[in-house]
Structure 1
Amino acid sequence: MAGGKETPRQKMIGMMYLVLTALLALNVSKTILDAFVAIEENTQKSNVMQVDRGSEFVSDISNEIASTRGKENAQKLHKLKKVMKQMKQVDQLSASLIQEIDRVKLELLRESGEETTIIKPEDKETIIWEKGKDCRPIRMNLMAVQAKDQYDIPMHILVGDDIKNPTGKGKMIWEHYNNFRSKLIHAVGTYKEGKNSYSVNPKEINSFKDNKDLKRQVAQMLRSSHVNMRDDEEILSSIYMNLTKQERVTQNDIEGVHWIGQTFDHSPLVAALASLSSMQQDILSARSLALAHLKSKVSTGEYSFNSIVGLAYGPEIANSGDEVELNVMMAAFDSDNQPTVTYNGSSFLGSEGKGIIRTKVGSSGEMVLKGTISIKNKSGQVKMEDWTHTVKIMKPQGTISLPQLNVLYKGYNNRVEGVASGYDQTILEGNGVSLSKDGNQHIAKVTTSGKTATIDIYGVNSVSKKKVKLGSFPFRVMILPNPDFFFGAAEEGGKISPLEKNLFSRYKNSPLDAKFTILNWELSLSSAPKPEKGKGNHLSDDATRLLRQGKSGTIVNIKMDYVGPDQIVRKKLASFVL
């Protein structure tokens, strides 16, 4: 085509060749389009998971409000309702922006000639599988989209004619996304607690050199507000950073390109929809973080239990002149807030949630020990309860001490101690539980499928061979509680190192000594399209490489199947922050 005289036919062939070349250059390969569809599908699944995770926190507080009664719990109920009010603010903000982005998605599809009125769950030929509701986005099937490579309409609706200064829906989404970021940290960080008032004055930070510079700017913004730095600084910083995007970038040697222009410029329809779903994922992840933080303020707030009672336990039988030891404690305790115990006119500060009293008993009859135990709530007010404990003296009687209190756990080696005072031999027999001797203790294994089991204690005189039943003790039968999960040294919700490989689970604050094994795991990043899977307690090299790709502040989700000594396979979703 470069030289010589051409016939009309040759000129026509040359023109068709140029047109065909241009069309091929503009055409997006099916493989790439299918990759965007796969990314969108994984993002939608992750979004559903984040919606459910956040809603569980709201449900927990709602149930706590419903079960909190009585004048003694009035202060706790007030705080629960205050936290619920904050949670509703978070949900309203999140739902508003999620639904707005859904409306833009539907507009893109309609303008591209796609069918959006038909809803058929799991139908391969239908685009819309489920309607969106509240914070839950519309469930879409992009494989059914016909105009996957359509880019004119997304460009027109979201960007306009200038990638530096987007117009229309793209500009609206950008503004509302940044407003959501400001309103969200204001809703989480603005409240009253006792005599103290805290507030956040958000500023728009959309320009930064790197994550370190962004973190510095966010910290400066928070410190210039009246933020509860001890309790809220880290979570407010994480939420803000996770929702922050660089507004201006250099793209193809063009400086000052807006994020909307960079993201949606000549973006195929399915890619534009996937990018919008990714924005929804950022919103829902921030919602989950915010709701988890608000819930933690109640579960570690006034008290971490519904009612507060004084508890004293120790031997119920003593011989004359013996020294007895009592453990006096709250039914549950906070290691950072120790109780004050009073007995016999004096008071002292306990440790590890309890106070230990030692005293000598009298010669006969029974001895009643009593006093008070008190603890301060987070507002500084004192909650006081009476405690009492009776010691019977010189009366043959059996007593059972179960280290894990009055519960027998299924599939677990429960350690049981029994003493028959006045007899030189002690025999334990179970109903619904098997007992085997282990030194001075017994191992109790639950055999019943019911909710209770009993252990009978007998005293035996080795000389007369007389066997006397001294008591029958009922125990509740329960399954083992779920353990806490750790990524290296970081607890769930904490900050992790991208170099860490070890996952494990254990009880953090429990006398139970149960071993849990992680069977398999699936690790995903909020910024990565594809999760990594593996087995056991150690991450694979591929998972480690995925972590290293994540930026500081990225949410890391790990789904796990694990099993304990009761052989029950359980599931867990844990989130951490890079």
Structure 2
Amino acid sequence: MAGGKPNARQKMINLMYLVFIAMMAMNMSKEVLSAFGLMDIKFENNNEAATENNAGMLANLETKAAEKPEEFKLAAEKANQITLVSQDFYNYIESLKSFLLKEGKYEVDPDTGKLPFEAMDKTDILDEAWFTGDRLTKEGDKVMARIEKYKSDIKEILGNDVKYQSAIEDFEDRFDTTPVENNDGKKLQWLDYHYQGFPAIASYTKLTAMQNDVKLTETNMFNLFLGNTLDEAVSLKNYTAIVIPDKNAFFAGEKFTGRVVLGKYANVTPTALSVEGNSIDLSREEAIDSTGAARIEFVVGNVGEHDVNGQFTFKEDGKDLPIDFNGRYVVVPRPNSATISADKMNVVYRGVTNPMTISFAGVPDNKVNASAAGLRRGNGTGKYLMNPGSGREVTINVTATLDDGSAVRDSKTFRIKNIPKPTGTFSGQDGTVKLPRNSVEIGRLGAKLEDFDFDLPIEVTEFKMKVPGQPTVRVSGTRLNAQAKNALRSARRGDGIQFFDIKAKITNNSSYKLPTVSPVFVELSN
């Protein structure tokens, strides 16, 4: 409202507003208000009984801690810590209830010992204290902060111990303060949804109910520390059927083998994780998923079946609890290339060592065996060397042994071809060559394989030389001998010197007989 003295119209509006509020209050059923009051009494009685019961359990824990410190000392310490933070929060809620009574001027009837439930219909006490427009006041923020502090204190006391995970989840549900959707589909803040616009007795009863949640938290935690939750832990309804295959890859048509077991997914964060002796960083993003499963990453080995071993570490009873795990996986070749073959080009050459790669998809090299005439293993995974002998074809047979001991077989036939006819060269040039006389005298006769996939070292062993008007000279080796040089001296400019009947051999395989090398013609340029 603006400052200054209100005029007659404003006074009338204010009076109508007061009448409207009064009419709303009259419409609030006295029976409903009394019902809230009766509920409050029940909660108060329950809280008194829980306080006495919890004190007994705490004393029992302390006695056990004295008798068996290794088993119960830590639990008793946690129980005492929970009692302190719970009592502090319980007292804070009691102060909120006292504030509500004081502001509403509500007092306990000395004759009945009860509050005036039917008169506690005011809605403005907490509305003005905790809410301002669509936001919370400082006092409203303080209420939410105290609730969140209680939650964080309890979880900090319990820590990451795997035994307490289920209790923490129940505790989170009990004090869930996430926004709530109302009947109109609008999301309201938790405090707004539960306390704004409610009559004083309703809010008072809800605060008593929150105190009851505090006592229930103590009860559940003390039972957990005493080991009274065993039945819940072992109940089969809390387990899931889990399929564990004997390996993580199977071939088409192979029999699936594995086990079906009962197990539980524990939504518990481990304190450490290692795989094959290497630590895994649990602080990285998505290291632990919503079910508590830890994601592991490592570079897999070669093609074939492998074991994977590691260790989970959790906190239990204040001590590290290591849990070993092991599994198996199968590595198959990465499909990074297509298999393309020309059906008419499956050829190996006689006289040379043909390198080959032989593998069986999904089977490690040590379980693959290939055999054929002239075939032997080379260096490297899947590497073989083929030296074909006589005949026109050779068949390579491949056998692979699968993990179940069964064998699969395949074969492929290759045509055997001879090394093509070499081309003669003089001083590195082939065909018709134009050279001066001096270059011919010192030149070297050679041979090469044109457009051949193998780089074969070929050496000329002998040849024949023909100079016009001179008898043919037979020469051993690659250079002109004295007789050939004498015949060359009689040649004139423009004469064609013919080198033919050239014999050559493969340097590292002299037993193979190469075809006769094609002739070379040299024209004298001077």
TM range (shorter): 0.3 to 0.5
* Higher alpha-carbon Rg: 2
Given the two structures, how large is their TM-score scaled by the length of structure 2? 0.38
